[in-house]
Amino acid sequence: MRILLTGGSGFIGSALIRHLIQSGCHLILNVDALSYASSRDSLSQVEDHPCYSFSHTNINDGKKISTHLQQFQPDIIIHLAAESHVDRSIDTPAGFIQTNIMGTFTLLEQCYIYWGSLEPQRKQHFRFHHVSTDEVYGDLGYTGARFTESSPYSPSSPYSASKASSDHLVRAWHRTYGLPVVISNCSNNYGPYQFPEKLVPHMVLNAISGKPLPVYGSGEQVRDWLYVEDHVRALVAVATRGRIGETYNIGGNQERSNLNVIQAICSILEDLQPGKLTGSLRYSDLIKFVDDRPGHDQRYAIDASKIRTELGWHAQESFETGLRKTVLWYLENTSWWERILNGAYRLDRLGKQA
């Protein structure tokens, strides 16, 4: 298959590309604007692979997107490009509107034109897979039901509102114009190569540097945690075998409070790297409670029974095993995250292009 990914140099996108290359020689074109949260280093092991190519392109650039579609002739589009950090969306929401809403609109326009130009057999098998988040559903009480594919939308932050908007656009292009789409909404991802602003890597790197581990409010906010390699297996299943026009929720069935996650990271570090802090200080002593962020959702939890029943997917990694693998990866791959923290990854981020 010929697969065009948007945002393939980000956390989930790069994991998906590595998985696709390792599982078979699909031809892959990675279209990425290389924003601050993208790193070419995350794809260094596949960058010279004959099945992989890269283009430094913003999804808002309709002309370049059109050129890539006509020249690469993809069978599947997997749309991952998005601004995704909630705190940043609260401080500077404009970029989230531009990328997540307008960028998706531009991509849909160009994909609809491209799809319409295909010969009947290729047109029948073409798919546009839009990758979204469980945050579009708002939040849940601390106990009880989980989000299903029919849960009403109730986004709380500029980030989740922009993703909800993009979901609605994708559904509209399917219903109004017939564009063959599938949508997936995932729970909180974690794993190797995640940008250090996110909770798990931020806490790991702060802890090993002896810096405070800030916890919003009481830390009781609950998230359903999904190991990124489990997620990318689900994305392949949805993109290739999901029913056209359907939505699939992808979750790890691993609910943990933010405080529990941070405490688990501290416990793993005490096991893997004990006695690093000065004196008798333990990693958990670095935990510091800070003011909660505005509009902070209480709980996200995914009911993933639909993707399990229809596509046979289930998460293989428990939170305990996945988190330990993740912490160990950050301890063993200091060169990757040091280049992020000191900004070196941005100086040579353009590199070779398609």
Domains of the chain, residue spans? 2-292+299-347
Give the DSSP H/E element, type plus range, for residue 227. strand 222-227
CATH 3.40.50.720 fits 2-292+299-347, yes or no: yes
Beta strand 255-257 pairing with 222-227: antiparallel
pLDDT at residue 354, rounded to an integer: 38
State how far the Cα of 351 lies from the Cα of 29, in Å rounded to an integer.
15
CA distances from 287 to 198, 219, 265, 292, 341 (A): 16, 10, 11, 15, 21
For residue 35, which of 112, 117, 92, 108 has the smallest C-alpha distance? 92
Q: Which two tokens stand for residue 160?
A: 């989740």
CA distances from 232 to 57, 71, 189, 191, 238 (A): 23, 26, 10, 12, 10
Residue 227 half-sphere exposure toward CB, CA atoms < 13 A: 17
Q: Which two tokens stand for residue 184?
A: 């997936």
Residue 90 half-sphere exposure toward CB, CA atoms < 13 A: 11
Do residues 318 and 325 make contact, with C-beta atoms less than 8 angstroms apart? no
Catalytic sites, residue numbers: 134-135, 159
Residue 18 half-sphere exposure toward CB, CA atoms < 13 A: 19
Could you tell me the mean pLDDT of each successive run of 10 residues in the chain, 354 residues long?
97 98 92 92 94 97 98 98 91 96 98 98 97 95 88 95 98 98 97 96 97 96 97 98 98 96 98 87 96 91 97 97 98 96 77 43
pLDDT at residue 353, rounded to an integer: 40
pLDDT at residue 42, rounded to an integer: 96
In DSSP notation, 315-343 reads --S-HHHHHHHHHHHHHH-HHHHHHHHTS
Query: Residue 137: which residues within 8 A CB-CB, separation 6 or more?
Result: 147, 151, 152, 153, 154, 155, 185, 300
